[in-house]
Amino acid sequence: MRNSTILGAVAALAALPLALGACSSGRADALRPARPAQGPTQAISTPPPPPAPSVLSGRVGLADGPLYAVKVDNTTRAHPQVGLTKADVVYVEQVEGGVTRLAALFSSAYPKTVGPVRSGRITDIDLLKQYGTVGLFYSGSQTRLLPKLQAAPLKLVSFDANPSGYTRVRSRPMPYDVIGTFAELRKRAGTVSTPTKVGYTFGAAPAGGRPAASVSIRYPFARVGAQWSAASKRWLLSMDGAPDLAAEGGQLGPSTLVVQYATVRSTSYRDVNGVATPLTETVGSGKALIFRDGQVYDGEWKRATATEPTAYTVAGQPAVFAPGQVWIALIGRDRPVTVK
């Protein structure tokens, strides 16, 4: 009896350190901070780079898409014009009777509607070849000119051939009432070129300009004016002395205005009144005036073939345009241009 009691006491004393160790370990585990739960690994996403500026207008954040040209009337009864605020480049051409018509190019942005749409002219063929295969929205052409338009690298979308996508607006007098729905006309055009390089350079204003507040460009029976607006950083346009207002609101005006002196000659084509159609030769070379940021630069233009882009230079270096819409006034070499 006595021996068994002694043996039990010894066993209890031997187990005591183990029990104390177990208690100590439990307290340490309780005091140790819990590990955070491991969730699934999340990949760090990198936002896509912004699109490169438009090669036609230098607009940042607007990528170039398929290129379309629209023939728009530019006489008094055609105003206000529709959709031109979205254009990248707008050409002013001399047509019959010494008045002007526009060829508006759209690539980085498209308007909902555009117009008033008018007929194509012989000048358009060589002018547009430098941009590849262009969709041309127009209201028809002289019968003798149609085969030349069809043979050109153009996707023709004519109101006369098919009125789908065009509407006659009752509030406008004929023939200044044809307005195109851009999305529908794009579908009719099919696959056209997307510009990648057209010869324009955009950037900050270089040295070498002289101050210019306004310019007056005189065609035989039309006048295009522009007044520099420092507030909007644009050349606000006027046509025949009246502000050139947009149907969407505001006054039309490009960031860069180019006066391109070229040969304008008569052709054998005639309009419905029998008046000869002029041709402006856009292949060749000549002088140019480049207006930007309240300054004018004396420059030159050169284009060796119809499929090459027009190169504008100042003092032998590429002319630098201000980012934004560009208007190019094609005018006879002997026509008066007044800069103030």
pLDDT tens per residue, range 175-188: 999 999 999 999 99
Q: Judging by beta carbons within 10 Å of its beta carbon (0-12, 13-18, 19+), is residue 166 exposed, middle or buried? A: buried
- For 129-160, the pLDDT digits (tens) are 999 999 999 998 989 999 999 999 999 999 99
Q: How many CA atoms lie within 13 A of 139 on its CB side?
A: 20
The β-bridge relationship of strands 68-73 and 284-292 is unpaired
Instruction: Give pLDDT, residue 281.
Output: 98
- Architecture per CATH, domain 68-339, reads as 3-Layer(bba) Sandwich (3.50)
* Phi, then psi, of 8 in degrees rounded to 5: -65, -40
pLDDT classification of 4: cutoffs 50, 70, 90: very low
Instruction: Give pLDDT, residue 30.
Output: 45
Which stretch of DSSP H or E encloses residue 201?
Answer: strand 201-202
Ranges of H-type helices in the chain: 2-31, 123-129, 146-151, 182-189
pLDDT classification of 245: cutoffs 50, 70, 90: very high
Rounded CA-CA distance 93/102 in Å is 6
Q: Sketch the domain layout of the chain as residue ranges.
A: 68-339
Helix/strand/coil percent split, the chain, to 5:
20, 35, 45
Looking at the chain, the whole-number percentage of residues with pLDDT higher than 70 is 87
What is the reported pTM?
0.86
Q: Is 316 left (phi over 0), alpha (psi -120 to 50) or beta?
A: left
- 10-19, 44-53, 161-170: lowest mean pLDDT where? 10-19
Rounded CA-CA distance 99/241 in Å is 14
Three-class secondary structure of residue 188 per DSSP:
helix
